[in-house]
Structure 1
């Protein structure tokens, strides 16, 4: 049986808690490798952990009560996929949108690659279109 800290599903669970639910920038060093590889529909490539920390801080400033509840984790080898609901209240500037006080509730799907007990590569796809609508913006308008 794998040691708890090296079990990819446990590492993915810790990633969700530390990064998205707690926004714990200091503890992220224990959960993620210094150099990340990141993939989403708009970006693909290497990302230093320091840049990802700034990204996470931006989300937590905009949505201080941000929470990601995971429906299921599925692991195969060093890859773990998981999906669930992200919720929060828009209380800070986000993507040029001043605070609205609106609640967001959107689905997201993630995959992480775990190497030596840390997340080293991430794929993410969230309903940003729906989130912008929930913030009162029409994503289709120029």
Structure 2
């Protein structure tokens, strides 16, 4: 078996973080650095902003309830220096309340990119850009 390079270890951390969104996953806060920040454009509620680890974990847990069959597919990853870029797709069915909208049984399928900054073997910061418009359209939430 080939020895894992620093880049593959960093890619694995990023993969783990993105895969925590899958409904059958658990949230493992140990892979994140103290003071972790997640910058999102857009935030699920609109606009852009940053959240700390506790808030991010709460958002993920709420997503598990809203989309209990949510799956994660990773299309590609690129690592350079202390950054890892992960292109992903989430898909599932809205079976629970989401952003105040009751369960609709509508399928959802959206993509995004997460760029993680790795420091001392942990994810210190993430930037996430995702297809908010498509998700809202599929759930018939308006624009």
Q: In which range does the TM-score fall when normalised by the shorter chain?
A: 0.7 to 0.9
Q: Which runs of 5+ in 1 are unaligned?
A: none
The number of residues matched between the two structures is 135
In 1: Cα distance, 2:60 partner to 2:25 partner: 7
Residue 10 of structure 1 aligns with which residue? 12
Report the secondary structure of 1:96's partner residue.
Answer: coil
In 1: Cα distance, 2:88 partner to 2:31 partner: 20
Q: Is the 1:36–1:48 Cα contact (8 Å) retained in structure 2?
A: yes
Residue 44 of structure 1 aligns with which residue? 49
Report the TM-score, using the length of structure 2 for normalisation. Answer: 0.84
Matches within 5 A, 1:1-142: 7-17=9-19, 19-21=20-22, 22-25=24-27, 28-41=28-41, 42-45=47-50, 47-139=51-143
Task: Kindly state the Cα deviation for residue 23 of structure 1 after the two structures are TM-superposed.
Answer: 3.6
In 1: Cα distance, 2:16 partner to 2:38 partner: 18
Residues 35-90 of structure 1 deviation map (CA, whole Å, 9 limit, x = unaligned): 22222223334x33221111111111100111221110000111000112110110
Q: Is the 2:39–2:126 Cα contact (8 Å) retained in structure 1?
A: yes
In 2: Cα distance, 1:40 partner to 1:65 partner: 23
In 1: Cα distance, 2:70 partner to 2:6 partner: 27
Task: Kindly state the Cα deviation for residue 138 of structure 1 after the two structures are TM-superposed.
Answer: 1.6
With 71-80 and 29-38 compared, the bigger mean Cα shift is at: 29-38
Report the TM-score, using the length of structure 1 for normalisation. Answer: 0.84
Task: Kindly state the Cα deviation for residue 4 of structure 1 after the two structures are TM-superposed.
Answer: 6.8
Task: Kindly state the Cα deviation for residue 6 of structure 1 after the two structures are TM-superposed.
Answer: 7.9
